[in-house]
Amino acid sequence: MSAKTYRVNEIFYSLQGEGFWTGTPMVFVRLSGCNLFCPFCDTEHASFQEMSADEIVAAVRAAGGPCQRICLTGGEPSLQADEALLEAFHQAGYLVHMETNGTRELPAGLDWVTLSPKNQVVGLKGNGTVVIGKADEVKLVLAPGVDPSAWESFPAAWHFLQPCDEGGRMNTAEVIAFIQDHPLWRLSLQTHKMLNIR
């Protein structure tokens, strides 16, 4: 019987560019595929290589050296990530973050959950209904149709609002004005793009 494999789009070492952990070294494990299609998505996540949990851990170690923090991302990582993969990371000494659209139940054992809901986005294809009941942070992209006020009561320690780049227009001024009027929120910028890193 062959070991379970996961469809891995890429593994790379960089700094977290968004949300609470901005500026923190992390190894990113991008899993292939997504159940939603957002009109502003800028991530190529369809291609993949089949890898076992042990192979993923070895690739993370090779990419990140001394870094002990992983971010599972996608696409939508909850389509594949399971408790066996998390256990392999934890056994190797890693802390595991996940950025998710929240439309699927998450495996137990995650060390940090970033909810990036898409259910209000105009032009969304797919069922964006959020089913998870809490997260460590909400990181909301202010895309057309999105009302951040609807997420202010969601159980999370931190709420971040991020500008949307759609059609070459960045709505940063709109995001700043909303945050000034709603001080629960903090500004999240895609600092990795500003710094021209992954």
Spatial separation of the C-alpha atoms in residues 189 and 57, rounded to whole Å? 29
Spatial separation of the C-alpha atoms in residues 22 and 10, rounded to whole Å? 20
DSSP string, 43-57: ------EEEEHHHHH
Pair 139, 48: CB distance under 8 Å? no
Gap between the terminal Cα atoms of the chain: 37
Spatial separation of the C-alpha atoms in residues 1 and 90, rounded to whole Å? 24
CA atoms in the 13 A half-sphere facing the CB of 128: 16
Residues serving a catalytic function are: 28, 34, 38, 41-43, 99, 192
- For 173, the 3-state DSSP assignment is helix
- For 13, the 3-state DSSP assignment is strand
